[in-house]
Structure 1
């Protein structure tokens, strides 16, 4: 780095600005959807939180998430967070904001595909067990074993007997997880019928978002009332003192993210972990070191 103080300050500013770009780019992408609304879709779910406040609170909460991450590592805690909800309810966006600035070796996301033929023959919970956290880890489940109480039930992928066995087993299963030392937190993201339709229409209109619409997602519109009944029974039968459900009002996506992160931070008491001062060692230089040039044909063309 140059010794010129002004140049150093400019570089520092550039680095700080660049660290914010990922969230800003994501938000600009969402703003583009608002433009599509203005062009042809009529009124939609306009956010009610002022942008400056949203970013200020998001960055503050993400700083606290880093402190929580350090505490989880320091104390070898085991944290599992379940994100459930209707299709397009905003689970993915919330997960992205939680993980955005965390160490992926500490905080990882589990989003399992449809079970294989072999997995379908296993004990139902078996495929999820290898993904549970070890000491010093946070695992975020983007959908979880509650698939059985939701999509599998509604779409006929499980029998009534399998569903009933799930409801009998899951409180004991989660109780065992908690007794083993896992901090288990369950979130249900709740949106209205009208809001889901609006978000699906936005994805249909946006070629960059159409990949998010699977045939199963589209069927969720047909089966809205079936999913409502399934959700109500699921919450009633699996909301326990050991593993309670927390419902996130998610019609306003920005508020939902902030509320979810703030609540998550409140569930795990944490403190600042003392860190030793970091000193960058001097680069070792050798008189016989020679850096060989890279052949020009190996460089990526500089189109920008």
Structure 2
């Protein structure tokens, strides 16, 4: 095997290893007992097909990233959905191979006292992309249409004002040259119950379940009504909603990434392949030894 193929093979192995680690961490508790008629968490796509398609799509994402940089596009992608719908898993797969200086994730905590006194959209504006950037919102200003409304964190007047303002706010973003894509990840009642039980029974995932998540589970129907109102009032031509069927995590990831790629026309960016220069060496240079006590113990 020549050197070029050797490097390519090593890179492919590293890529597969990274994704396998993520996959194993997310499926380790799939043996949790559930009702016989609830099998959605078992993917209809086998692992080999999933990996093959995921790596192909991630290669296309890198091409899209280069195109966005070259054409100085500004892209906002909003990910919304119920707790445990799989938004984070999709975002991980999108960003996994991309330059964090080009593609960044925004996941804002609950607003502080000062932010609550500001115009509602104000704290999101500073995170909008500049030319050549992609911003992925892991939850967004649509918190007001969901958790804030259902849990009573906003008034009825603030809720109504949100729906009056949001369509025009997003039209303003689009008129300013920002591409706005909005995805709702849809899971069934039974699948969410399964995923919540997985988290409860996995010490590595219990941190993902907050008291708010538990309460949201109890209020499933209230969230369903809020989602229906949100989609009806903010599905606009300039920034439509796209619904991702997410009971099958693998399919949801592939479908969401493929759709995202289809929404922004892009092409190949021709780049000159970098070449490593010869390293400069000096005869009077000698590498100094590191004291033994500074080394991390090799336990593995």
Structure 2 partner of 1:208: 204
Structure 1 residue 10 displacement after superposition:
6.0
5+ residue gaps in structure 2?
none
Q: Deviations over 1:160-186 (max 9, x none)?
A: 000001000001100000000000000
Aligned length: 297
Q: Deviations over 1:24-44 (max 9, x none)?
A: 011112231223x2xx44544
Instruction: Answer yes or no: is 1:153 the counterpart of 2:131.
Output: no
Structure 1 partner of 2:223: 227
* Structure 1 stretch displaced more, 277-286 or 246-255: 277-286
Alignment of 1:108-257 (within 5 A): 108-257=104-253
Structure 1 residue 193 displacement after superposition:
0.8
Q: Deviations over 1:89-141 (max 9, x none)?
A: 00000101111111111100000001000000000000000000000100000
CA distance in 2, matches of 1:84, 1:130: 20
Structure 2 partner of 1:65: 61
Secondary structure (helix, strand or coil) at the match of 2:108 reads: coil
CA distance in 2, matches of 1:188, 1:24: 26
Structure 2 partner of 1:293: 289
Secondary structure (helix, strand or coil) at the match of 2:145 reads: coil
* Structure 1 stretch displaced more, 140-149 or 22-31: 22-31
CA distance in 2, matches of 1:188, 1:195: 16
Structure 1 residue 276 displacement after superposition:
1.1
Q: 1:284 aligns with which of 276, 280, 283?
A: 280
CA distance in 1, matches of 2:204, 2:65: 32
Structure 2 partner of 1:52: 48
Moved over 2 A (4+): 5-16, 40-45
Residues 182 and 12 of structure 1, relative CA distance in 2, 3 Å threshold: closer
Secondary structure (helix, strand or coil) at the match of 2:79 reads: strand
Structure 1 residue 216 displacement after superposition:
0.6
Question: What TM-score, normalized by structure 2, do the two folds share?
Answer: 0.95
CA distance in 1, matches of 2:248, 2:200: 20
CA distance in 1, matches of 2:96, 2:7: 23
Q: 2:93 aligns with which of 94, 97, 102?
A: 97
Residues 64 and 287 of structure 1, relative CA distance in 2, 3 Å threshold: same
Question: What TM-score, normalized by structure 1, do the two folds share?
Answer: 0.94
Q: Deviations over 1:272-291 (max 9, x none)?
A: 00001311111011122221
Instruction: Answer yes or no: is 1:86 the counterpart of 2:82.
Output: yes
Structure 1 residue 202 displacement after superposition:
0.8
Q: Deviations over 1:28-70 (max 9, x none)?
A: 12231223x2xx4454421111211111100000000000000
RMSD across aligned C-alpha pairs, in angstroms?
1.5
5+ residue gaps in structure 1?
none
